[in-house]
A and B are shown apart, each in its own frame.
Chain A
Amino acid sequence: MNTYCKAAIRNQKELMTGIWKMELEAPEIAHSARPGQFIQMYPPDERNLLARPISLAAIHGESVEVVYRVVGKGTEQFSRLRDNDMVQLMGPLGNGFTLPEAGERSVIIGGGLGIPPLLELSKRIPGEAEVFLGYADAPFMDGDFRGHGRKVHVASQTGNGGFRGTVLELVEAIAPFADRVYACGPRQMLQAVAEWAERQGIPAQVSMEERMACGIGACLGCAVKIQKPGEKDWQYLRVCRDGPVFSGREVVWNG
């Protein structure tokens, strides 16, 4: 159930340069949210008209947690908010991930700021799940995945944290056995993951990102090319409403 509400900020802190984590006290959102869903966060300065879509990293009793990178004016404003400041939110939005069936083994693959949206999923997967995280340089949040007992593999461009290379190169090197793949990260990474999953013959759920206006499916701003099985042609679906999680094999990656 989507709610438009004000939330109090708790425990905002900078995880590493430019990457921030905050807890938002929003019971209505926390009570109905599922892993893979997102919220719209409205910048306090009204000259920034559009809300910023940010995925939920964690869902606690009365609050949700988000992790974001300062990339522009909106996120810069969020980073200046302090504990007890209020921020306007709408959510939870989108479809979220579908959890695996009992007995299935999962692989979770995240890249950069695509890692936080996988945390709550990782916590809630009842069975076995192996986690692969890719970074530009220094890892962050890998401890959160280890914290609930997941086996975590880290890759980075610099070799910081272990493997030097892309997260998919690491996945290919380890060649985990899986029944399902979950991924969030840059589009190029998601495409590589979807193609890898296809070669393994396993379904991949990929969480996509796109510039958004309304966040609820009315404006058709955040389009993604999807071709459903059995359909002759692709169509534009809405990341906010029909996604953000799509089947990797249905996304039209080139074009």
Chain B
Amino acid sequence: MTSDYKRFALTRAGQAVVVVLLAYVLTFLVISVLPGDAITNTLRDPQHGLSEEDIQRIVAFYGLDQPVIVQLLLSLGRFLTGELGFSLQSNLPVSQIVGDALPSTLTLATSALLIAIVFAVVIAYGAQYLPGKWAATVRSIPSFFLSVPNFVIGLVLIEFFAFRLHSFTTTDPNSPVATLFAAITLAIPVSAPLAEVLIASLDHESRQEYAVVARSRGLTEARLFAKHLVKPSALPSVAMVALIVGELLGGSVITETIFGRDGIGTVVQKAVTGEDQPVLQAVVSLSAVVFVAVNLVADLASPLLDPRVKLREKVGA
């Protein structure tokens, strides 16, 4: 088991590094094949009235006239040494842009994840133990949560709590109350898949023999839920949480835009619209690192949590 596990862990970690590097190269290539680049597009804005020669000179200054492969190697080299370069749009260091935006997004994403977990557990519990008619309604909540667009939830919450009840001001989006509502906005769509997985595995586990036996011995449903069902049902949900990291980042773009929060989501959005390659490169790589790391931890933890997870199959897969 131990040597098997060591081999499994090393392979998984190696794969993770490859994934991050591939994400980096792929991002670079995708941005490179887009028509034009941030600098020339900005300079070509007719308001500026710059001549083609001026534009060429500035393009040369940024090295954008070099072959793609040269640009890629230079960029990759800088990335591996931790040098993220300067934003093409704002000329500020990329590390400063990302560093400024990161805390806000981390706060938002972490609170949203916690709220989503609470929502999911409450929904799943309701779906199991409410009377038939109610349970059916509760079971439809995840699909409802998924079908209401994120921005609608955000705008409704802002309209009601900020503008009518004055619970918070939109000009101070980092206040605790504003953060809470932003986190709820982000948590609602994120909680839906979590709740669905949890409901499905609770359904499955509660039909298992051990549950039936426990029930026949007179164990109350609440004790059965807490003592026996939660742990095995949570395993697929843990895997789900790892996948949700991506969802949190995607959703944060909209949530941050609506709540006026400055964060990674807004940084991504700005970088995409401005084709700001160094910033985009850094954020995509950072997301890849976070995503891969969370999944790596989940992967490495699952055989420890549940001995039934077979290591060899995993390695081969």
A binds B: no
Which B residues fall within an 8 A CB radius of A? Answer: none
Which A residues fall within an 8 A CB radius of B? Answer: none
